[in-house]
Structure formats: structure tokens, C-alpha cells
Amino acid sequence: MSEPLLVKVGGSLRGAETLLDELASYPGPLVLVHGGGPEIGAWLTRLGLESRFEGGLRVTPPEHMEVVEVEVGLLLDLLEKGYTPLLAPIALDEEGPLNVNADTAASAVAGALGWPALFLTDVPGVLRNPKDPTTRFPHLTPKEVDDLKAQGILQGGMIPKVEAALNALRAGAPWAAIAQGERGVVAGVLQGERGTRFTL
């Protein structure tokens, strides 16, 4: 059996049927977390509401909350029974539902399970030049990430993705990766041929 894996599928990848087929045939335990950024943005625009971002994250009034606890018992029960849990980034507090950033939720769940985390997006990984996919960094450490931030290479929406990958490591994931959600991505990442892998 293959190693367990948590996969966060970005909202921009909805409709990628071949990717979903690949995930469905993954031979190991799998947990999926989905995001909905582009769809949320489209609905806000339709409703005439402003979509505001700070540090690459959508500002969701009234406040942005951190994940403080993950109850893994139900996930483990579902996995033991052969199910593949699909998690939406919604949480509850005493006052009602909260919209949690999907990358943040994925990193917390991966850390709580102690599983590797794969963040799928619409770019091939962390790139030195965002317009040139051949400038992909195959591997990064937290120190190297800090250096890339200081040099201004790491910017925009990639910053929260990288932070989520590093947070997964700090929370207990053995490794994390960011890769483009396309055919063959899971095998490519596991073999070190695609995406950017992060380790401590």
C-alpha cells in the first residue's frame, strides 16, 4: 500500500476530470480538501461585493481565524472503513459557521494526521520567475523560503500556499509539496519529478 496522503485541490482546478480519476485510483489512504477561491470571487462579483486580498489571502469579514484544533477521530474511522473523506473549509464556533482558508485547513489536518500534504494549484510549483515554468524549485527548506521572501522572489498568492506547506511541516507532516494539478501529478511529486517539495 502507498503512503497516506492529504491532497488540497484548489478551486481553480474544478472540472479537471482526469485529475479526479487519478486521485480516485490512488492506492493508499487519501484525504481531500477542496478550495473554492475563483468561484467565491465570481459570486461576490455577481452580488456586487468587493473581493479584497491581503498577503495573498481573501479577507473574509468579520475576521480571519486560525485553526486551533482538528478532530481526527471521525476521519480515521472513515479511512478505516475504506472511505476517502472530502473536506470543505468550513468550521464552526459558538457564534456559527466560519469560512477557513482551504490551505490553512489542509495544513492543520495533514499535521494532525501526521501525513504528507500535497497542495494542487494552477502553477508547477514555486518558480524563480513566475512566467517561466523551467525555473521551478524542486525542493525548499524554511530557511530557503525566508531567503526567497527577502529577495522578493516569493510574492502574491504563492506566499500563503508556501506558508501552508511550512505550517503542515511544523504541525507534524513529514513533507509537503505544491504542484500543478494535472495528469500524473501525484506520481510525479512522489518521485520528485514535479512540484516543489518542502522539508524541515
CATH of domain 5-198: 3.40.1160.10
Give the tens place of pLDDT for each residue, 91-103: 667 777 666 788 9
User: How far is residue 40 CA from its own chain's centroid?
Assistant: 17
Q: What is the pLDDT of residues 113-171, one digit of tens each?
A: 999 999 999 899 999 999 999 999 999 999 999 999 999 999 888 998 999 999 999 99
DSSP code, position 114 = T
Per-residue confidence at 197, pLDDT binned at 50, 70, 90? very high
Average pLDDT, the chain: 84
Q: DSSP secondary-structure letter at 4?
A: P
pTM of the prediction? Answer: 0.83
Percentage of residues in the chain having pLDDT higher than 90: 57
pLDDT (0 to 100) of residue 63: 40
Residue 67 banded pLDDT, cuts 50, 70, 90: low
Give burial (CB, 10 Å; 0-12/13-18/19+) of 52: exposed
What mean pLDDT do residues 56-71 have?
Answer: 57
Kindly give the residue spans of alpha helices, DSSP state H, lying in 81-141. Answer: 102-113
Task: Say which range, 22-26, 80-84, 133-137, 148-152, has the weakest mean pLDDT.
Answer: 22-26
Q: Which residue has the higher pLDDT, 14 or 133?
A: 133
CA distance 166 to 156: 16
pLDDT attached to residue 64 = 40
Could you report how far apart the first and last alpha carbons of the chain are, in Å? 25
